[in-house]
Amino acid sequence: MGANHTDGDMTDENQATAPVGEGESFGSWLRSQREVRQVELETISQSSKVNIRYLEALEQDRFDLLPAAIFVKGFLREYARIVGLDPDEVLNSFLAASAQDDLEGGIENSGKRSPRFPFGRTGVVVLVVAAILALLVWRFFPGPDGEGAEDMEPMAPPITEEAPPPPPPESLPEQALRVTLEFRATSWVDVHSDGERTVSELRVQGESLTVTADEEIRLKLRNADAAAIEVNGEPFEYDAGDDEEIVIPATEADVPP
């Protein structure tokens, strides 16, 4: 594992952050800054609570694998803080790299133009419409000798099939304790069920999360006011602050799941 850095060390190292070199990608620059300070990705992930796959995507310039920009900016600030880089410089370098990536993607797509037609698009449309009209006239209106007309048969009603019923929602194991969190703001959430970590991820406004346990659930919210909690369908009041542990024992569950 890499060397641990304190907040005091971060301030000194921020002053020595090397800029992105010419011809060097943002991801390779970010990785080299981390490696020269001997910090492992696992260390950054554990300290910042950012999923390691997002950190790997940043170092590989895989911006298409990243979530919304507001979250990426938070990831980069945590990364810079732990490694010892200037957060503003890291963000500016990322924005420049992502803008260049978008520009190159637009240029590449613009080169894939559709083939030109000798009459232009309007001419092709006119020809197609004229051909369809001529076919309809020949098919349904007989000429002087009766040729070209066809007996019109009534159209059979379309056969409709009933859509299969949707699959039942995935049910959680029936245990003594069932805790539901309804998120009204963005927050990182960390959950332990019966001593085992079951959830450690970012949740956004409008999402919900349900976890179960036999004896006890312990959880932390980075934003303590971000979620409303229910225990077995009943509101659960808590007064914990940000990143403070909320303990919910099975004795709180007066109503069976």
Q: Is the pTM of this model over 0.75?
A: no
Is 7-110 CATH 3.40.190.10? Answer: no
Condensed to tens digits (0 to 9), the pLDDT of residues 60-96 reads 999 899 999 889 999 999 999 999 999 999 999 899 8
In CATH terms, the fold of domain 177-252 is: Immunoglobulin-like (2.60.40)
Fold: same for 7-110 and 177-252: no
- The alpha-carbon radius of gyration of the chain (Å, integer) is 31
| Better pLDDT: 157 or 87 | 87
Taking the domains of the chain in order of start, what are their residue ranges?
7-110, 177-252
Cα separation, 57 vs 110, in Å, equals: 26
With a cut of 60, say whether residue 117 has pLDDT above it: no
Residues 6 or more apart whose Cβ sits within 8 Å of residue 241: 224
Cα separation, 218 vs 244, in Å, equals: 10
> If you average pLDDT over every residue of the chain, what do you get?
77
Find where tokens 């929602």 sit: 169
User: Residue 123 has what pLDDT?
Assistant: 67
Residues 6 or more apart whose Cβ sits within 8 Å of residue 177: 212, 213, 214, 215, 216, 217, 231, 232, 248, 249, 250, 252, 253, 257
Condensed to tens digits (0 to 9), the pLDDT of residues 15-69 reads 456 667 667 899 899 999 999 999 999 999 999 889 999 999 999 999 899 999 8
Condensed to tens digits (0 to 9), the pLDDT of residues 205-241 reads 889 999 999 999 999 999 988 899 999 989 998 888 8
With a cut of 70, say whether residue 105 has pLDDT above it: no
